[in-house]
Structure 1
Amino acid sequence: MRIKFQVVTFDAADLGAESHFWAGVLGGTVEEDGDWHMVMVGGEPKIGVQLAPGHTPPTWPDGPVQQQIHFDLWVEDFAEAHEQVMSLGATVLKPARGATSGDDFQVYADPAGHPFCLCWLVAEQN
């Protein structure tokens, strides 16, 4: 079997908000086709968004609706990435730990409530 593309697909009640959020994060565009949107990056499909009118967002970490899937996005400049995702409609679910070495991460929700993490390597403090 040869897999041509790998696409993660999110359910969302608001196709436009969800697909344009991920297109903004990944630097892509949105191709709309009725109840389905595809986020394209560099001419390749990266994220699908399908209409789910009754979608219930996860209530991570402690709520009754558990997280189903999430992205870990490793970034070079956390501050810049944070500003970008917030301007696109993300909300912070869990602040960074404030690690002084190794790696750190901060948990967000996209417009449909799906959790994702911005992750980065922490420079050693001398």
Structure 2
Amino acid sequence: MKVVIKKDALELHSRSIPARMGHSQDTMNWRNSISKMLDNSEDRTFEVCTSHLFDSSFNVVNPHSEYAIQIPDYMVEAVIDDARIGKSKCGYCGKVAETSQGHCEKGCKVEYFKPLLKD
């Protein structure tokens, strides 16, 4: 699974966070990591770590670090070979499984088990 990051991703991110958070050390480190990744990529396409799937963000493999970087979906232009198709995630325990299962493998209630992608 891969994602293509939008050209204006950093600008979109700046507009989406409150001003008081924009200069925190965590935010600055995150922006520096994304900026470095984008500067060193010709096509803005990055591998996604699929061990943890989300409905509104992606853990992107950072080629400059051992840690993945979480990218919100509004910064993503395209998803290639989406691993979330046909999968659901338990809103109670976070377990991801095939949607056809109908419930969480850990025995959580069915109402917590929601598709990762909406039609």
TM-score (norm 1): 0.31
More helix by share: 2
